[in-house]
Chains A and B, each alone.
Chain A
Amino acid sequence: MSPLNFFEWLADVPWSVDLHESQYAYSIIESMHVWAMSLFFGMTVMFDLRLLGWTMRSVPVSEVIRRLRPWTIAGFVLMVISGSLLFFAIPLRSYQNIFFRTKMLLLLLAGLNVLIFHSRIFRDVAGWDTDAVPPRAVRRAGALSLALWIGVLFSGRMIAYNWFDCDRQPQPGIINFLTSCTATEAGP
């Protein structure tokens, strides 16, 4: 079973159809997604700015992370739940959406950055905890996080405006390749 077949099947699951066709459910979930995003993104930006030494310079980095982490995690969990539901409502179109694919890729990279930060860089926080401007490696992680999450936010917002949709042909060959649009959809 190819991914395409799987998402075609998923799009026909009654729950997915219900979500898609409901008058209010999709909009409400989408609003939840924006709320959760503002919580998660807001907290993340503040933490990244602290890593860059641009804000809250007199507060130890470990203190900032200790206080912000519960809210960041709460925002992220809500975001993943609401986001999964949004995907579940429109699985096939999202799967073939170039902005959705970009978002997933950036999300993966952002996750890796978090993982590397916590497993390596943050380990020796004691050495630079009270620095107004942390060392270069720390600032680099902060800048990367900021760039990646802004990328996630941008590509995420673009998903709804997809002007590279498979149904809007003709598209350049590279686009159809990147979005797995099939030849029949691409037309002559």
Chain B
Amino acid sequence: MSLLPFFQWCYATGIGETIRESTWLFPVIEAFHLLGLGLTAGSVLLVDLRLLGAGLNGQPVIPLFLSEAIKCYYSFPFWVKMTSLLLALIFTFTLRRRVTRTDVAAERPLPARLTGLISICLWFGVAWGGRWIGFS
């Protein structure tokens, strides 16, 4: 079964249409999206940099997606972003959580460092894929 009908339904929603037809709605929502990115990056990096031994001890995305859902369906960067996001979330709530719960950073630097590095790479992948949706 193809996901295309779902994406077409998203595209046709009232929210999607309103945003598409407005001059400034899309840019403003996107600015909020970027703000959320910065906040997420701040809190993720703080912990990941700590895991690397170098640091210190929700975003409005759906409306944007609705307004250009069909473009997203055919966009390679969109799927890169969603895959990275899924992996990042799974990683955050499984392995990374286990590492951050204990004081493993002090005891076993290598696994902790690896965890920090993988997390940073996954989130940067989300940001990279996301930015490229706009270029494709």
Instruction: Give me the interface of A with B, judged by CB distance under 8 Å.
Output: 27, 30-31, 34-35, 37-39, 41-46, 56, 59, 63-64, 67-68, 71, 150, 153-154, 157-158, 160-161, 163
Contacts and interface: CB of A to CB of B under 8 A. Distances in A.
Among A43, A56, A59, A64, find the residue whose CB has the most chain B CB atoms closer than 10 A.
A43
A102 B39 CA distance: 22
Given A59-B57, A68-B55, A157-B31, A38 B24 contact: no
Interface residues of B, number: 29
A30 B42 CA distance: 20
A42 B24 contact: no
Nearest to B50: A67
A89 to B, nearest CB: 14
Interface string B19-36: 000011011001100110
A42 B127 contact: no
Nearest to A63: B56
Nearest to A159: B27
Contacts of A46: 42-43, 46
Contacts of B27: 157-158, 160-161
A44 B24 CA distance: 27
A67 B56 contact: yes
Leading 7 A-B pairs by shortest Cβ distance: A42-B42, A38-B41, A41-B38, A161-B27, A42-B41, A67-B56, A157-B31
